[in-house]
Structure 1
Amino acid sequence: MKDYIEERAIEIADYIIATNATVRQAAKKFGVSKSTVHKDCVERLREINPSLASEVRRVLDVNKSERHIRGGMATKEKYLHLHKHRTAHA
């Protein structure tokens, strides 16, 4: 594996752990795809640094378990915003 890929995997994992970031947030921050973040943190990191891999896995698992809640909140915010916008212009 190339050095820059190993470095990126470690940087992404450190970022996710430090900020409790989602895969999507990490992908945006590092300018890579969600697939790359996932592969770096789940597959590649296991070979590079197993303890870091398990630490980042815990954060990703929590984020995944809360994903439906964040999605519901985003939808609620969207419709609250639309409703306020419509009533302001009515």
Structure 2
Amino acid sequence: MKDYIEERAVKIASYIIETGATVRQAAKKFGISKSTVHKDCSERLAEINPGLAAEVRRILDVNKAERHIRGGLATREKYLHRAL
């Protein structure tokens, strides 16, 4: 694996741990695709730093469990603003 990919994976992981960011937020922050963020955090990081990968996995699992709630809130906001 190339050095810049390893560096990027560690930076993304640190960002997610510090901010609790979603995959989508991390992708936007780093200017890469959601698929790349997911691959960096789930596959590549496990080879580089298994401890860091486990921490990120916990946060991403929480985000995944809560995504249906966020979607409902976003829809609610959309229609509240539309009514005005």
In the other structure, the counterpart of 1:2 is: 2
Runs of 4+ in 1 over 4 A off after TM superposition: none
Measured in 2, the distance between the counterparts of 1:22 and 1:39 equals 14
Matched, 1:11 2:8: no
Q: TM-score, normalised by structure 1?
A: 0.93
In the other structure, the counterpart of 1:55 is: 55
AA of the residue aligned to 2:65: S
Measured in 2, the distance between the counterparts of 1:27 and 1:41 equals 11
In the other structure, the counterpart of 1:66 is: 66
Measured in 2, the distance between the counterparts of 1:83 and 1:12 equals 39
- Sequence identity (%): 80
- State the structure with more CA Rg: 1
AA of the residue aligned to 1:52: L
Measured in 1, the distance between the counterparts of 2:76 and 2:58 equals 28
